[in-house]
A and B are shown apart, each in its own frame.
Chain A
Amino acid sequence: MLINNGFNEDKIQSPLRYIWSIFKSKSIAVLAMWAIVILIFISLFASWIVPHPPLLQDPEQMLLPPYWVEGGTIDHVLGTDELGRDTLSRLFHGVQYTLGGALIITFFVSLIGMTIGAGAALTKGVKASILHHLLDALLAIPSLLSALILITFFGPSYINCLIAIALSLLPQFIRASFLAIEQELNKQYIIALQLDGAAKTRLFRYGILPNILEPTITILNRLFTMAIIEIATLGFLGFGAQLPQTELGALIANSMELIYLSPWLVAFPGLAIFIIIIIVNVFAEGLRHAVIEGEE
């Protein structure tokens, strides 16, 4: 490509490649990325990789501790619950419900929210304010509370809980993406692109979208974390996943009475939620820093 390419190292990296090369040098973030890949793999293929069916009861082996504690067996690595169901299998299925649900919510909310936010930022007048303030009433209430209110309308079930959480998180996302795009619109290269005669969609695709990576990562990370916490909370309160479904929050709620007898049953799902959130945040933070360094 270069005319006088005397040295073969003159390779021009695109900004995304450059960001990726910075990201690759952050070992903790890369570790977190692989952990996320494994978690997503688990949530996709939980039914095939679990050692026991999550609902299989075994009256011979009830309330077993994990295998490294006195009395545990290697057959049930993390022990069993009061009906003899394998905890590890239930955890894997719990990850499927919680993480998978959060991924679905993040996907749809970001898609819809970004469209509405961009529409509001790129248009003017009544249309913009209708789009922008469409769901503002929900902003007045904390998102968990508004999810609870919506659940009472819809009736408690896992799917309804996902819908309610998505609706309660949508206004925040619209607001955040609107602000990010609004800020970008004042940049000179956007004005220059407008003077080139670019239509709104082209402006958004080439001018705005590549330049709002950093705020987008931040709001996506927040959205995802909130979704996980709210799914688990609604499950714990009994408004989300119903009994045979092994959602992580519901698992904790299920074993609350047995906390003195077998604390493991509460500890493991709680730990799982904690680890998922930590991993996602480490990954997103690493990515964000790579983007910031790449843009300097």
Chain B
Amino acid sequence: MSSLLKVTDLCKSFKQPYGLFSSREKVAFGPVSFTLEKGETLAVVGESGSGKSALVRTIAGVLKASSGDIYINGESICTLSSHKRCVAVRMIFQDPSSSLNPKMTVGKILNAPIELNTNLDAKQRYQRILDTLKLVGLLPDYLAFYPEMLSGMQKHQVAIARAMILNPDIILVDEILTTLDISLRFKIVNLLLKIQQAKGLSYIFVAHNMHLVKHMSDQIMVLHQGKIVEKGPAEEVCERPQHEQTKYLLLTHQPDYRK
């Protein structure tokens, strides 16, 4: 049985203009290899500019990898149709106020992925939308709302609903917790954990806060300048950090709200 997600020697570099005519390669991350099992949560942590976001975006398909391979359920991503890829991997963007189209109602936003990727009829689609809304804890009333009428928390819920609606195997979460205050942060974390329990899906989490990460993830991967410097079970990485960078990250996020 192959793992749900397997990443081998994934590499991404950008071309930067350098001088008048030449350009040089700037490596965003890589080579990176890791695996993710079903129902597991992998947290990717690191300072800003360490390539976390680029990594997640590459797996989601926003960016194209320069080299290396991604396998989902043993199938290479190159051979997968974009259709199957959409269904297997979904992404939640960092800022829901910019990732929800301001000119579309919540209902239409949620309808788009199912209409494009499944062949359910309108009634089944509506039922699926209602179920998903219930899952994230929103009333069906909100279907007729436009994103700017919702609060920040509700926008997050809609963004999560959009990711969940296709019943994906993997959800990529790009730093959604940083823009929220503490109480809402926990609410979202609990919501995500609850959904994980109900659906048995896997998360790849991008985060800064080591303590929150420890609470919700099974595996932690620390990136530094595009390379994996430490990888292991969450407990172990947090209790006995091996690398300098991990220690720094643990120090910078003292849980002051516990005092």
Contacts and interface: CB of A to CB of B under 8 A. Distances in A.
Physical interaction between A and B = yes
Interface of A: 1-4, 12, 14-15, 187-189, 191-198, 202, 206-207, 210-211, 295
A233 B144 CA distance: 51
B213 to A, nearest CB: 23
B117 to A, nearest CB: 5
Interface stretch (B10-18, B90-98, B194-202, B219-227): B90-98
Contacts, number: 74
Contacts of A210: 101, 103-104
A198 B109 CA distance: 12
A196 B146 contact: no
A244 B130 CA distance: 68
Contacts of B139: 3
Contacts of A3: 139-141
Contact of B162 (A15, A192, A202, A211): A192
Interface string B192-220: 00000000000000000000000000000
Contacts of B86: 195-197
B39 interface: no
Interface of B: 60-62, 82-83, 86, 90-91, 93-95, 98-105, 108, 112-113, 116-117, 139-141, 144-146, 149, 162
B162 to A, nearest CB: 7
A15 B100 contact: no
Contacts of A4: 141
Contact of B98 (A2, A12, A187): A187
A6 to B, nearest CB: 12
A196 B101 contact: no
Nearest first, the 4 A-B pairs at minimum CB distance are A210-B103, A188-B99, A189-B101, A196-B113
B145 A197 contact: no
A210 B103 CA distance: 6
A207 B101 contact: yes
B62 A2 contact: no
A192 B93 contact: yes
Given A12-B145, A189-B99, 19 more contacts: A2-B141, A2-B144, A3-B139, A4-B141, A12-B146, A188-B93, A188-B98, A191-B93, A192-B99, A192-B162, A193-B101, A193-B112, A195-B90, A196-B112, A197-B113, A197-B116, A206-B112, A210-B101, A211-B101
